[in-house]
Amino acid sequence: MIFDLSYLDKEFYLQPCLTVARELIGKVLVRKKGRQVYSGIIVETEAYLGSADAASHSYRGKTSRNEQMFGEGGVIYVYFTYGAHFCMNVVTATAGTAHAVLIRAVEPVEGISRMMKNRGTEDIYNLCSGPGKLCSAMEIDLKQNGAVIGGGVINIIEPENIVKRKVIRTKRIGITKNADKLYRFIDSGSPFVSRISRRAILQKTKE
Kind and range of the H or E run holding 112: helix 112-119
**What pLDDT shows up at residue 97?**
94
Give average pLDDT by consecutive 10-residue segment, the chain, 207 residues. 67 96 96 95 96 88 91 95 89 95 97 97 96 97 95 90 85 87 94 69 43
**What pLDDT shows up at residue 165?**
85
How many Å apart are CA 173 and CA 180, to the nearest integer?
A: 9
**What pLDDT shows up at residue 38?**
97
**What pLDDT shows up at residue 205?**
41
What's the predicted TM-score (pTM) here?
A: 0.91
Whether 99 and 51 have beta carbons less than 8 Å apart is answered as no
Whether 124 and 171 have beta carbons less than 8 Å apart is answered as no
Question: Is beta strand 36-49 parallel, antiparallel or unpaired with respect to 99-110?
Answer: antiparallel
Q: Which amino acid type is present at position 167?
A: V
**What pLDDT shows up at residue 159?**
85
Task: Return the SS3 of 35.
Answer: coil
**What pLDDT shows up at residue 199?**
44
